[in-house]
Structures are given as C-alpha cells and as structure tokens.
Amino acid sequence: MVNLGDLSRASARHLLDKDCPPFETAPFVAGPPLRQRRVAIVTTAGLHRRDDNNFNLSDLSYRVIPGDVRLSDLVMTQASVNFDRSGFQQDVNVVFPLDRLREMDGAGEIGRIANFHYAFNGAGQLPTAFEATGREVGRMLKEDGVNAALLVPV
C-alpha cells in the first residue's frame, strides 16, 4: 500500500477527497449462519477474464466472473498507476479470494459459492459514481440467491 506522503499532491488530494461516511445503523435484516449462506465476491481490483474488455480509468462498468473460473484465466487492468500489482501477480486470492471460498465450501463452512462474481475498476472515480451499476449488480446477486457478499476493495 502506498503512503500518502509518497504521492504527488494531486494524487493524495484525489484519495483524501473520497468520502467514507460511517454507517450509523444496523443491517436491515439479519442473515442466516455462514454455513447456510450463498457467497459472492465483489472486487474493485479491475479483474476480468482474458477475453473480456479491459477496464479504463473512467470505467463505471463491471465484469461478470463465473464461479467456476480458473483463476489463471483472470487478468488485471486496474487503471490506477499507484496500485502495486505484485500481490496479485503472486496470488490472485489477494484481490479475489475464490480459492479460499472454495476451501470454505469444501469444509462446509459456507453454504455455497455463487454462480457469478463481479469486478469493478475502483480507480479514478468517487464511490457515488458507481451507484447505478452497483444497484444493477445488487439485483443480479439477488437473482443468483446470494445472501452474503465478500467485498474486496482495492
């Protein structure tokens, strides 16, 4: 992770301008125990399958990643020049922990892994810009029967 003091003034200001309001309320509903949950991954690492379109800096779209994907088929087109990709290059689970979910599924610690997972490119935009696509992905998660999402912000 980069230290703000190591960034240019403009890059540091861009990060500091991102509002991160506290959640002052409890979840709307309580969920079932983890061993009964259908779990999906939502990441902002700019991941996608090799044949999918690359992300670009102003991209507000998402990429669908099938639950049976081979992790070696994923690439990263994270647009942030400040993002250190070395962790991803060594182990994709750093930004997309599907192997860990598969292990948890095999051990009976979660109910099931979702059929589909979702990736955004988190660089370049304020979080509020993703509201429309976030709602769209939320609807698809619901259609897939997902009742737990592992959010992996990058």
Rounded CA-CA distance 154/143 in Å is 26
Residue 87 lies in a domain: yes
Residue 106 lies in a domain: yes
Instruction: Please give the tally of structural domains in the chain.
Output: 1
* Per-residue model confidence as pLDDT tens digits over 97-148: 999 999 999 999 999 999 999 999 877 677 788 899 999 999 999 999 999 9
Residue 110 lies in a domain: yes
Strand ranges (E), the chain:
38-43, 47-49, 62-66, 74-76, 112-113, 116-120, 148-152
Residue 59 lies in a domain: yes
Residue 13 lies in a domain: no
**Averaged confidence pLDDT in the chain:** 87
Residue 6 lies in a domain: no
CB hemisphere CA count around 36 (13 angstroms): 4
Residue 40 lies in a domain: yes
**pLDDT of 84 above 70:** no
Structural domain containing residue 132 = 32-152
**Whole-number Cα distances in Å, 133 to 36, 130, 142:** 27, 6, 14
